[in-house]
Amino acid sequence: MTALSTTLSDRLQDPRLFRQYAYINGKWTHGEGGREEAVTDPATGEVLGHIPVLEDAQITAAVDAAEAAAAGWRALRADERSEILQKWYAQLHEHSEDLATIMTLEQGKSLDDSRGEVQYGASFIRWFAEEGKRTYGETIPSHMPNAALGSIKEPVGIAALITPWNFPLAMITRKAAAALAAGCPVINKPSNETPFTALALAELAERAGIPAGVYNVVLGEPAAVSKVLCAEPRIRALSFTGSTRVGELLMEQSAGTVKKLSMELGGNAPFIVGPDMDPTEAAQAAVAAKYQTSGQDCLAANRILVHESIHDAFIEAFKDSMSALKVGNGLEDGTDLGPLIHDKAVEKAQSIVDDAVQKGATLHESTQPPVAGDNFFMPVLLTGITREMKVWREENFAPVAGVLPYATDEEAIELANDTEYGLASYVYSNDMRRIWKIMRGLEFGLVSVNSVKMTGAPVPFGGVKESGLGREGGSTGIEEYLETKFFCLGGMPSASGS
């Protein structure tokens, strides 16, 4: 390892949380082929450390380990698994500041946002520790004489969890806690941009007493690792969070082994502002819904639809609010927006802005001076946009907002639904009838009315159309890792004579 690789551990109260190995069968594992990949701080370009690039046989070894551990984990009572998960939850709380530091260094988001994500991610562990105790089956009135019918819930088996870099902790715990509570061993493949948060979670899982083989983290070349996981018949569930492009690829690759699939994919959220709204209040909410995590959020309000009667006042207030956002290194006090994850993200953001301007949109820039650094991108607003522009059609995953005026509620609904995505949507209005009409008309899995914040452990989170399959969190999230087994007990004496 290079001298710089010690920098990250020097910043931690508990340096053992910084791991530069995969975690398989309870052991910290290097790559057998000797290959490594560097992980950099997107704010500075500094190398934070290295991760091993595992060979295919090592990915299969993780499946072997999970298979060997499966029977023991499944045999525990739900309340015994719950106790272990509660200990994992406590570990996250005890080490929350270190987890936030690791996250900010490798992802770039502000330290406050990272702290918030640690609490958010931990909340899924506590939630599923409780939900695991409530995986009820049912009794079924029999249609046959002398038979008793019913169903029980059983763990689906080994679950592979492939996760993104934008929420490096919560996207893991929302899956892993549900799978573990259901009785499934897990194999997490985190993003190569943010592996150290995932590895710290594994270290804390071990300290909490999650047995060897039940929790594994594999690393390597993403397409190669995912190919092995998808083709592996012993993996019975695949839960993926990431882009629609990769999600579709993984669905194809999993077809041959007919896995249970959960897909949390991309979004292109509309934000509808009714004519009855105060334009300043609505603009402040839209700015918050668009620029959080520098726009690198599947919930980001990309397409802002404002009633024509308040459009101009809304734009003025939006520009003021956008210009108040402080861009900088996430470790610095007062930073609202950190850098984008890498140079390709900056290039994509710039190409979306250029495309819109070239097709006639007006660009409004922040009044703050630009921040030096390759991956920093100042927040911008585009007005006068059309449906032909990339800013309308593509998930930009950057601090780029587009605003379009509309005249009627029907037009707002039609515009909002004009996308292959169907994850999150926002409605701002004080008119209950309008809210109800628009909410029912929106083809999205999540509708947030007069609130920027919509997520949390009790929420059935997920999208429709090409935004995905299944729901995470809430009372349904654990179902992604359970099978229903029907039973028919024949030859039974029956009190009712049936």
Ligand X SMILES: N[C@@H](CC=O)C(=O)O
Residue 49 is classified by DSSP as E
Binding window for ligand X (CB under 6 A); candidates: 85-93, 293-301, 386-394, 441-449: 293-301
CA distances from 16 to 24, 93, 197, 286 (A): 17, 16, 12, 41
Which of residues 41, 98, 106, 297 is near ligand X by CB under 6 A? 297
H-helix or E-strand spanning residue 239: strand 235-241
Residue 50 CB coordination number (10 Å): 18
Site residues for ligand NAD, 453-472, by CB under 6 A, read 463, 468
Closest approach of ligand X to the CB of residue 264, in Å = 8
d(CA 424, CA 444) in angstroms, rounded, equals: 6
d(CA 305, CA 298) in angstroms, rounded, equals: 18
Q: Does 306 bind ligand X (CB under 6 A)?
A: no
Q: Does 473 bind ligand NAD (CB under 6 A)?
A: no
Q: How far is CA 428 from the centre of its chain?
A: 24
Which of residues 116, 150, 222, 275 is near ligand NAD by CB under 6 A? 222
Closest approach of ligand X to the CB of residue 462, in Å = 10
Q: Does 268 bind ligand X (CB under 6 A)?
A: no
Strand partners, 273: 306, 428
Q: Which does 455 bind (CB under 5 to 8 A by kind): ligand NAD, ligand X, none?
A: ligand X
Q: Quick one: 274 or 339, whose CB is closer to ligand X?
A: 339
Residues carrying an active site annotation: 264
d(CA 298, CA 293) in angstroms, rounded, equals: 10
Closest approach of ligand NAD to the CB of residue 449, in Å = 20
Which of residues 63, 269, 298, 337 is near ligand NAD by CB under 6 A? 298
Q: How far is the first Cα of the chain from the last one, in angstroms, to the nearest whole number?
A: 73
Sheet with 482-489, edge to edge strand ranges: 138-140, 148-155, 482-489
Are β-strands 235-241 and 260-264 bridged in parallel, bridged antiparallel, or unpaired?
parallel
Q: Does 455 bind ligand X (CB under 6 A)?
A: yes
Closest approach of ligand NAD to the CB of residue 302, in Å = 10
Q: Does 231 bind ligand NAD (CB under 6 A)?
A: no
Closest approach of ligand NAD to the CB of residue 384, in Å = 26
Residue 357 is classified by DSSP as H
Q: Which does 299 bind (CB under 5 to 8 A by kind): ligand NAD, ligand X, none?
A: ligand X
Residue 472 is classified by DSSP as B
Q: Does 187 bind ligand NAD (CB under 6 A)?
A: no
Q: Does 249 bind ligand NAD (CB under 6 A)?
A: yes
Tokens of 415: 């515009």
Tokens of 10: 């020097």
Q: Quick one: 322 or 452, whose CB is closer to ligand X?
A: 452
Please provide residue 389's backbone torsions phi and psi, each rounded to the nearest 5 degrees.
-85, 150
Closest approach of ligand X to the CB of residue 480, in Å = 15
Using CB under 6 A, list all residues that contact ligand NAD.
Answer: 162-167, 171, 189, 191-192, 222-223, 226, 241-243, 246, 249, 264-267, 298, 395, 397, 423, 463, 468
